[in-house]
């Protein structure tokens, strides 16, 4: 019991600020939608939705800049290797600058590809192109912030990412409101608000870095940054994380497209029901983020006992959290749904489907916690393989082969996908995570 208390305190110290940070993500999208939703021309709302979709795909795909940085940094922290801590940070920033330059150079083709994937009206396309052309200039700041966020968390500092996220989102709301309503820039104003907020947030991140971690300042040469074996490991780990992320993007995109293929009401219902899943996932990710940092630290310090305890306690927190959410969705699901739409037919047709979001948290929580553990362990090959099994071996065959109505097949396939992610990673734990530390390092042997 004595060993559990400090682990629990550390989990909560890391998880709670991350939960606050994560809550700001859906809030920002909600505010942007509300700003456009109160303008006279609905094309502005469509432009924001289309433009945001393009950036969501880009930044979600490049999320390895944050996830890979957490694991490498936490392991360097556990090993008390200050030189490596700084090299990981500077290497991540360098790669984020290279990637953002490529995105800016390719953005005319990226815009066209994104526009061509939809059947939006001409006016929506024009405003969406304008939105993307403006917001693209936030790319260097946005990608650098992914590195800062991952590095701070890897250094067991969850407060700085929270401060940056809250600061950035408040600023984004204020600037977007000013540009949209006072300068009458409409959807372009929302883009300029994001650009300004991202660059000012990067300024805050740089300030916090130099204030807290000034002791790490030292000269690093390009030869050190571009060390072949370390770069190879960096790209190998992050390449696998990238493939794993593509699997998630595929499943969510497939879910949306198939919902639209059933009928417009099912698309509306599933879009709203998916907000239940997203809100739960953003909250639970706080514990997954704690698992990332602590797993990396204990692998770096070769402490098998603390690693096992960290895994066990994070899983218990995740289970408790999931049961609380299931209870909330069971008791207040109808009420929450009615807050999100006033369409009576949508509400009535949604009631039988609320069952799926009620059982979703306990089925899916393990996937989130294990994700964090494997990212902290930089066990990206197992993450990639687990995702492949969950998508190709579970999600696809269940959807196409189950003899049930399409809407039921869609939800069963999705929840089976989430369960399979947790189950496959659980099977890989012994070799991919615990296997990184010799069993002789258990605290029982000293």
Question: In 351-436, where does DSSP find H-type helix?
Answer: 354-376, 380-388, 396-401, 406-432
pLDDT for 35 beyond 90: no
Range of weakest confidence among 202-211, 331-340, 424-433:
331-340
Q: Could you tell me which of 282, 262, 298 has the C-alpha nearest to residue 76? A: 298
Looking at residues 120-133, what average pLDDT do you find?
Answer: 80
Q: Could you tell me which of 271, 214, 299, 234 has the C-alpha nearest to residue 93? A: 234
- CA gap 155, 78 in Å, rounded: 9
- Whether the CB-CB separation of 66 and 147 falls below 8 Å is answered with yes
pLDDT band at 58 (very low <50, low <70, confident <90, very high): confident
- CA gap 234, 91 in Å, rounded: 9
Q: Could you tell me which of 148, 181, 173, 229 has the C-alpha nearest to residue 44? A: 181
pLDDT for 59 beyond 90: no
Range of weakest confidence among 48-52, 92-96, 257-261:
48-52
Q: Give per-residue pLDDT as tens, 396-410.
A: 999 999 888 888 899
- Which helix (H) or strand (E) segment is 22 a member of? helix 4-37
When comparing pLDDT for 260 and 204, which is higher? 204
Q: What DSSP string runs through 106-148?
A: HHHHHHHHHHHTS---HHHHHHHHHHHHHHGGGHHHHHHHHHH
How confident is the model at residue 445, as a pLDDT?
38
How confident is the model at residue 40, as a pLDDT?
65
- Whether the CB-CB separation of 251 and 414 falls below 8 Å is answered with yes
- CA gap 162, 19 in Å, rounded: 9
pLDDT band at 438 (very low <50, low <70, confident <90, very high): confident
3-state secondary structure of 436: helix
- Whether the CB-CB separation of 291 and 372 falls below 8 Å is answered with yes
pLDDT for 36 beyond 70: no
pLDDT for 1 beyond 60: no
pLDDT band at 349 (very low <50, low <70, confident <90, very high): confident
pLDDT for 251 beyond 60: yes
Residues in the chain: 446
pLDDT for 267 beyond 50: yes
Looking at residues 390-419, what average pLDDT do you find?
Answer: 93
* CA distances from residue 48 to 37, 59, 214 in whole angstroms, order as listed: 10, 16, 40
Domain ranges of the chain: 15-226, 227-446
How confident is the model at residue 61, as a pLDDT?
84
When comparing pLDDT for 351 and 39, which is higher? 351
Non-local (6+) Cβ contacts of 288 within 8 A are 314, 318, 368, 369, 371, 372
How confident is the model at residue 334, as a pLDDT?
83
How confident is the model at residue 296, as a pLDDT?
92
DSSP 8-state symbol, 377: T
In terms of Cβ atoms closer than 10 Å to its own Cβ (0-12, 13-18, 19+), residue 440 is exposed
């Amino acid at each position: 019991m004595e060993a559990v208390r400090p682990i629990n305190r550390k989990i909560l110290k890391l998880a709670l600020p991350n939960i606050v940070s994560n809550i700001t993500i859906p809030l920002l999208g909600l505010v942007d939608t509300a700003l456009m939703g109160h303008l006279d021309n609905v094309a502005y709302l469509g432009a924001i939705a289309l433009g945001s979709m393009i950036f969501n795909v880009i930044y979600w795909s490049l999320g390895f800049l944050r996830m890979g940085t957490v694991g490498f940094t936490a392991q360097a922290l556990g090993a008390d290797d200050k030189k490596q801590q700084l090299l990981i940070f500077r290497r991540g920033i360098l790669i984020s600058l290279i990637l953002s330059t490529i995105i800016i150079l390719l953005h005319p083709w990226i815009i066209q590809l994104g526009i061509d994937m939809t059947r939006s009206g001409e006016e929506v396309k024009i405003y969406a192109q304008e939105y993307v052309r403006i917001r693209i200039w936030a790319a260097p700041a946005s990608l650098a912030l992914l590195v800062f966020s991952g590095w701070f968390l890897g250094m067991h500092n969850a407060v700085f990412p929270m401060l940056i996220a809250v600061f950035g989102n408040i600023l984004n709301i204020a600037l977007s409101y000013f540009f949209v309503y006072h300068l009458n820039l409409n959807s372009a104003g929302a883009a300029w608000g994001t650009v300004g907020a991202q660059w000012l947030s990067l300024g805050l991140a740089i300030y916090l870095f130099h204030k807290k971690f000034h002791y790490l300042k030292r000269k690093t040469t390009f030869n050190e940054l571009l060390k072949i074996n370390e770069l190879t490991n960096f790209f190998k780990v992050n390449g696998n994380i990238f493939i794993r992320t593509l699997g998630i993007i595929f499943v969510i995109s497939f879910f949306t497209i198939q919902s639209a293929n059933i009928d417009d009401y099912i698309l509306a219902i599933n879009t709203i029901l998916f907000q239940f899943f997203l809100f739960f996932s953003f909250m639970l990710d706080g514990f997954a983020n704690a698992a990332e940092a602590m797993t990396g630290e204990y692998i770096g310090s070769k402490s098998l006992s603390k690693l096992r305890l960290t895994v066990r306690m994070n899983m218990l927190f995740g289970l408790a959290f999931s049961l609380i959410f299931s209870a909330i969705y069971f008791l207040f699901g109808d009420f929450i749904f009615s807050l999100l739409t006033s369409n009576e037919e949508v509400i009535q047709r949604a009631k039988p489907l609320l069952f799926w979001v009620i059982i979703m948290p306990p089925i899916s929580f393990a996937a989130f916690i294990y994700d964090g553990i494997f990212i902290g362990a930089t066990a990206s090959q197992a993450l990639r393989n687990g995702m492949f099994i969950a998508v190709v071996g579970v999600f696809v065959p269940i959807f196409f082969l189950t003899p049930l109505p399409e809407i039921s097949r869609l939800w069963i396939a999705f929840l089976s996908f989430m369960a399979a992610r947790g189950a496959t990673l659980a099977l890989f734990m012994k070799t991919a995570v615990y296997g990184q530390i010799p069993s002789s390092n258990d605290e029982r042997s000293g």
